[in-house]
């Protein structure tokens, strides 16, 4: 009986680990899809902002260590939710009404993944 319970517990534990890995992988794919849909046209798929709009708006290279160091998670969250204006001109539209808090958090983590050397 003990052997049967151990087998069931091991099987359940493996199933949970596998399911968790699938969920994490799906979220990673979701954030990449979200980035490509809403952010890449200005910031670039690679975060370097070498797009027509990125250059026009003077977007910062998110792979630059100095840019990463100067940008707090709180600031990135605020910018995503509320947008960015400079000299009365919109540089980035707000996404608070389009994205959940979880999606915003995932995007901030995605921005951090551009940090050089990661």
Given this model, what pLDDT does residue 29 score? 61
* Segments of the chain with pLDDT less than 50: 8-9, 11-28
Given this model, what pLDDT does residue 5 score? 60
Given this model, what pLDDT does residue 36 score? 95
Write the pLDDT tens digit of every residue in 40-66. 999 999 999 999 999 999 999 999 999
Contact assessment for residue 112 and residue 39, using Cβ atoms and an 8 Å cutoff: no
Given this model, what pLDDT does residue 115 score? 86
Tokens at 65, concatenated: 């260590």
Given this model, what pLDDT does residue 21 score? 37
Q: Specify the CATH number of the domain 2-113.
A: 1.10.760.10
**What is the DSSP pairing of strand 84-86 with strand 89-92?**
antiparallel
């Amino acid at each position: 009986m003990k052997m049967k319970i151990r087998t069931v517990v091991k099987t359940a534990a493996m199933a949970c680990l596998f399911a968790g890995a699938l969920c994490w992988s799906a979220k990673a794919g979701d954030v990449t899809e979200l980035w490509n849909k809403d952010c890449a046209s200005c910031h670039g798929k690679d975060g370097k902002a070498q797009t027509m709009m990125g250059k026009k708006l003077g977007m910062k290279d998110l792979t630059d260590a100095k840019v990463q160091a100067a940008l707090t998670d709180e600031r990135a969250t605020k910018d995503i939710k509320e947008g960015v204006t400079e000299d009365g001109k919109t540089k980035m539209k707000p996404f608070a009404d389009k994205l959940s808090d979880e999606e915003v958090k995932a995007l901030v983590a995605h921005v951090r993944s551009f940090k050089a050397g990661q």
